[in-house]
């Protein structure tokens, strides 16, 4: 198993992974339900976790709201690459006599929860596998962060019946997260609670990160249904400015209105399909991930790129452009009611 474990690590690295680790039933013992490998494979013994690096060169232009498509395309394709590696590796192991299950990098949710896929609960948490097997640390954001790429990674994994040799978590003292909270300052949705933390135990090791409020917040903002920060001074790549509620139970109502407007707005290039949506959606944010660079100066610079590059508006041909907050407000105010309703709440 030592030999097979090494071979698998080499296999995944040769496919472009920047970090690989192995977790087992033992090293995940006592974890939350989404750390239960047998959920996808009853005879599971281990999981192989890996990270693919996002292309750093596309991140500053994305944050500065100069180039949306390059980073979004990189993100979508890296997710596909991650799922593809998982499929190939699980076929490889199955043909060696070890039944295996490839985990999708994203967009695959449990159907047996109270609200089904609307609960957005993955089969297995790729983050838990990654931190327990030493692929990365938890940042305060709850994202997995790595020494060289920061949080700008796409995770992947397989679950297998092979009894592989586990790898250890990274030493806590090597975690570059200094609690700067720029992840939270870059998030219009308020997903991360600045005051409360989540504590989990995996195989006798404890991990903490900021408590996440309802995932609907990130779905609402990152999916592009709203994007204006509460300061009114900057936005994500979304041209919409529907309200972002303070309370979780207020999201249902605003989401409905914002989604109807979303479907009527001119379509733009790019995007991807989500099982809960009838049109392509665009990943208009991701800032908590791509701001969090290991180098503190770069991290500060990225936060400024995001917050000093203005507010995105949509032109009649569907194209998106960042303008000053004042010009954006003026543009919206000059629209007729029907057009305005595509971008903000219009009260009767
Ligand atoms: S942005 Fe700062 S606080 Fe947030 S995860 Fe990164 S280093 Fe930690
Ligand atoms: S992706 Fe955007 S909306 Fe979602 S948690 Fe990160 S910063 Fe917030």
Nearest CA to ligand 2 atom 7: 187
- Please state, as a whole number, how many other Cβ atoms lie within 10 Å of the Cβ of residue 148: 12
Q: Residue range 8-34: average pLDDT?
A: 97
What mean pLDDT do residues 277-294 have? 93
pLDDT for the residue numbered 277: 84
pLDDT for residue 254 is more than 80: yes
Specify the pLDDT at position 120: 86
Cα angle, residue 188 at apex, residues 313 and 253 outer, rounded to 5°:
85
Whether the pLDDT of residue 116 is over 80: the answer is yes
Query: What is the percent of the chain where pLDDT is above 70?
Result: 100
Kindly state the average pLDDT of the residues 150-166. Answer: 98
Residue 11 reports pLDDT greater than 90:
yes
User: 278 pLDDT exceeds 90?
Assistant: no
The two three-digit tokens of residue 253, written as one number = 């109502």
Q: What is the largest CA-CA distance in the chain?
A: 68
How far is 239 from 314, CA to CA, in rounded Å?
Answer: 6
237 has a pLDDT exceeding 80: yes
CA separation for the pair 1, 182 (Å, rounded): 42
Using most ligand atoms within 8 A of CB, pick from 141, 191, 299 the residue to mutate for ligand 2: 191
pLDDT value, residue 252: 87
Residue 82, pLDDT > 90, answer: yes
Q: Is the pLDDT of residue 348 over 80?
A: no
Cβ of 150 closer than 6 Å to ligand 1, yes or no, is no
Confidence category of residue 267, pLDDT binned at 50, 70, 90: confident
What pLDDT sits at residue 16?
A: 96
Please tell me if the CB atom of residue 151 comes closer than 6 angstroms to any atom of ligand 2.
Answer: no
Comparing 1-10, 21-30, 175-184, 244-253, the range with the smallest average pLDDT is 244-253
Pocket lining: 183 vs ligand 1, CB cutoff 6 Å: yes
Mean pLDDT for 93-114 is 96
pLDDT digits (tens, 9 = 90+) for 210-235: 999 988 999 999 999 999 999 999 99
**pLDDT at position 113:** 93
Q: What residue spans define the domains of the chain?
A: 2-174, 216-340
For range 241-252, the mean pLDDT: 92
Tell me, using a 6 A CB cutoff, whether residue 235 lines ligand 2: no
For residue 269, what pLDDT band results from cuts at 50, 70 and 90? confident
C-alpha 203 to ligand 1 mean position (Å): 25
Q: How far apart are CA 48 and CA 107, in angstroms?
A: 19
% residues pLDDT > 90 (the chain): 90
pLDDT, the chain, mean: 96
Measured by CA distance, the residue closest to atom 6 of ligand 1 is 292
What is the arithmetic mean of pLDDT over 149-178?
A: 98
Helices assigned H by DSSP within 177-250: 182-185, 216-222
Q: Which ligand is nearest to the CA of 306?
A: 2
Tell me the DSSP string of 134-153: TS-EEPTTSSEEBTTTBT-E
pLDDT for 292 beyond 80: yes
pLDDT level of residue 166 (50, 70, 90 thresholds):
very high
d(CA 171, CA 315): 49
């Amino acid at each position: 198993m030592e030999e097979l474990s090494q071979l698998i690590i080499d296999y995944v690295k040769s496919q472009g992974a920047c970090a690989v680790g192995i977790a087992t039933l033992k090293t995940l013992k006592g974890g939350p339900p989404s750390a239960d490998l047998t959920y996808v494979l009853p005879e599971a013994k281990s999981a192989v976790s890996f990270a693919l690096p996002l292309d750093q060169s596309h991140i500053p232009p994305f944050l500065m709201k100069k180039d949306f498509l390059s980073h979004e395309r990189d993100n979508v394709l890296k997710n596909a690459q991650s799922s593809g590696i998982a499929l190939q590796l699980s076929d490889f192991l199955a043909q060696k006599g070890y039944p295996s299950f490839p985990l999708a990098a994203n967009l695959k949710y449990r159907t047996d929860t109270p609200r089904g896929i609307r609960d957005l609960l993955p089969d297995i948490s790729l983050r838990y596998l990654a931190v327990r097997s030493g692929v990365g640390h938890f940042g305060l954001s709850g994202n997995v962060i790595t020494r060289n790429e920061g949080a700008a990674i796409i995770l992947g994994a397989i679950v297998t019946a092979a009894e592989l040799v586990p790898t250890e978590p990274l030493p806590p003292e090597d975690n570059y997260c200094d609690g700067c909270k720029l992840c939270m300052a870059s998030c219009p949705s308020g997903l991360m609670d600045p005051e409360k933390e989540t504590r989990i135990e995996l195989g006798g090791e404890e991990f903490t990160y900021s408590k996440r409020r309802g995932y609907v917040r990130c779905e609402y903002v990152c999916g592009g249904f709203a994007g204006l920060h509460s300061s009114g001074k900057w936005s994500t790549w979304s041209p919409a400015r529907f309200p972002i509620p303070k309370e979780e139970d207020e999201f249902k109502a605003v989401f409905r209105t914002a989604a109807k407007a979303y479907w009527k707005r001119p379509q733009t290039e790019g995007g991807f399909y989500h099982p809960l949506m009838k049109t392509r959606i665009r990943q208009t944010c991701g800032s908590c991930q791509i701001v969090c660079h290991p180098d503190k100066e770069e991290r500060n610079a990225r936060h400024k790129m995001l917050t000093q590059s203005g507010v995105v508006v949509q032109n009649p041909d569907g194209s998106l452009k960042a303008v000053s907050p004042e010009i954006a407000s003026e543009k919206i105010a000059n629209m007729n009611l029907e057009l305005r309703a595509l971008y903000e709440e219009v009260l009767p």
